[in-house]
């Protein structure tokens, strides 16, 4: 019976001693860039007290700020400045192996379940949505870290800024509505535009576009008797999603939010007879868009078409 109790206690100890255990002792393991561990937070606390770690908030992630702090400490103490916290660095910090420093234990941040895209994300935040953001930025080639985390640090902010610059958005490193849209991650079922969800809106718009296929082109036309380019767009958006568009293509282009890749229901713009946006259509998927052509009326064309491809300006979401 005693042996059974001892075995149970030992098994419990093994479970508690997982890599993310909050009572892990600083100095037990080598810490380096890209790692996520409770000891990283302890290391940051020590470096912060010594004036090397400048962030206002400590986390369990070993990012660029932590590495910079370690490198500066190592240089000051004439150690190999590789940014890796090993035996010599711990010794210089006054930390003995197996001895956790007396630091205030912070409660783990609450993870709130939410639809990704509803919450503005910015530097210093810790949230499950940040990890999803990092995954997207990593897939798009903007974030170079080996492992994604729930913390919005300097590497994430830098990636967001580069993405925003590339997509001609305000490059403030804050992920709000426009950035989510450009990422193609605006919330679908819960995001309302003119009383219609974004998914439903796109479906209704595309469904409406096809009702008027083959309607003839008419200069200044805004009804099914005949459409010009912008007249067709305005009619379809009003009928399909109760959205009022400006009368000219140039003004519609000013209203939309630029996206890197069009999704169904987005507008695609072209520079034809004058500089700037002078023609537009509605993207319906598979590199195809529907528009009112001056030569053939309402028709479906391809973005790969030899005429339209070199004139393509980009896509915007209303």
Residue span of the structural domain in which 175 resides = 128-183
Angle of helix 64-76 versus helix 154-166 axis, rounded to 10: 130
pLDDT category at 64 given cuts 50, 70, 90 is: confident
The CATH number assigned to the domain holding 147 equals 1.10.101.10
Averaged pLDDT, 94-108: 52
Mean pLDDT score of the chain: 80
Q: How far is Cα 266 from Cα 282, in angstroms, rounded to an integer?
A: 6
Whether residues 307 and 201 fall in one domain: yes
Q: How far is Cα 107 from Cα 90, in angstroms, rounded to an integer?
A: 25
pLDDT for the residue numbered 11: 35
Among the residue ranges 52-56, 153-157, 193-197, the one predicted with the least confidence is 193-197
Q: How far is Cα 55 from Cα 39, in angstroms, rounded to an integer?
A: 17
Give the catalytic positions in this structure. Answer: 229, 279, 291
Instruction: Look up residue 159 and give its two tokens.
Output: 């990636």
Averaged pLDDT, 151-158: 92
Among the residue ranges 21-30, 108-117, 169-178, 179-188, the one predicted with the least confidence is 108-117
- Does 204 map to a domain? yes
pLDDT for the residue numbered 173: 92
Residue 7: CB atoms within 10 A of its CB come to 10
- Does 112 map to a domain? no
Whether residues 88 and 136 fall in one domain: no
- Does 110 map to a domain? no
Whether residues 165 and 207 fall in one domain: no
Whether residues 196 and 281 fall in one domain: yes
Rounded to 5 degrees, φ, ψ at 294 are -65, -20
Integer CA distances (angstroms), 309 to 13, 232, 233, 256, 312, in order: 64, 21, 20, 21, 5
Contact 60, 36 (CB under 8 A): yes
Q: How many residues are there in the chain?
A: 318
Averaged pLDDT, 266-270: 94
The CATH number assigned to the domain holding 215 equals 3.90.1720.10
Whether residues 77 and 177 fall in one domain: no
Q: How far is Cα 124 from Cα 107, in angstroms, rounded to an integer?
A: 16
User: Structural domain tally of the chain?
Assistant: 3
pLDDT category at 206 given cuts 50, 70, 90 is: confident
pLDDT for the residue numbered 185: 63
Whether residues 206 and 266 fall in one domain: yes
Question: What is the end-to-end Cα distance of the chain in Å, rounded?
Answer: 71
């Amino acid at each position: 019976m005693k042996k059974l109790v001892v075995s149970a206690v030992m098994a419990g100890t093994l479970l508690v001693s997982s890599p993310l255990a909050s009572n892990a002792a600083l100095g037990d393991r080598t810490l380096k860039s890209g790692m996520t561990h409770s000891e990283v937070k302890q290391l940051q606390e020590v470096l912060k007290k010594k004036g090397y770690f400048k962030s206002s908030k400590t986390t369990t992630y070993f990012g660029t700020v932590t590495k910079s702090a370690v490198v500066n400490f190592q240089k000051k103490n004439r150690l190999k400045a590789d940014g890796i916290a090993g035996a010599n660095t711990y010794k210089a910090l006054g930390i003995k192996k197996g001895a956790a420093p007396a630091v205030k234990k912070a409660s783990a941040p609450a993870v709130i379940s939410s639809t990704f895209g509803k919450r503005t994300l910015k530097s210093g935040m810790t949230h499950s949505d940040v990890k999803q953001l990092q995954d997207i930025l990593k897939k798009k080639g903007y974030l170079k870290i080996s492992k994604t985390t729930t913390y919005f640090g300097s590497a994430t902010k830098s990636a967001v800024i580069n993405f925003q610059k590339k997509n001609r958005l305000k490059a403030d490193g804050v992920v709000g509505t426009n950035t989510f849209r450009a990422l193609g991650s605006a919330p679908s079922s819960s995001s309302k535009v003119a009383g219609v969800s974004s998914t439903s809106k796109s479906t209704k718009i595309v469904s409406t576009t096809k009702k008027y296929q083959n309607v003839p082109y008419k200069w200044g036309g805004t009804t099914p008797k005949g459409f010009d380019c912008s007249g067709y767009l305005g009619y379809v958006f009003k009928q399909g999603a109760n959205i009022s568009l400006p009368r000219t293509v140039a003004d519609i282009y000013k209203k939309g939010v630029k996206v890197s890749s069009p999704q169904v229901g987005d507008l695609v713009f072209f520079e034809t007879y004058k500089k700037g946006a002078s023609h537009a259509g509605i993207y319906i998927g598979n590199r195809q868009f529907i528009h009112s052509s001056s030569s053939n009326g309402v028709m479906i064309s391809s973005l790969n078409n030899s005429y339209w491809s070199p004139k393509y300006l980009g896509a915007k979401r209303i």
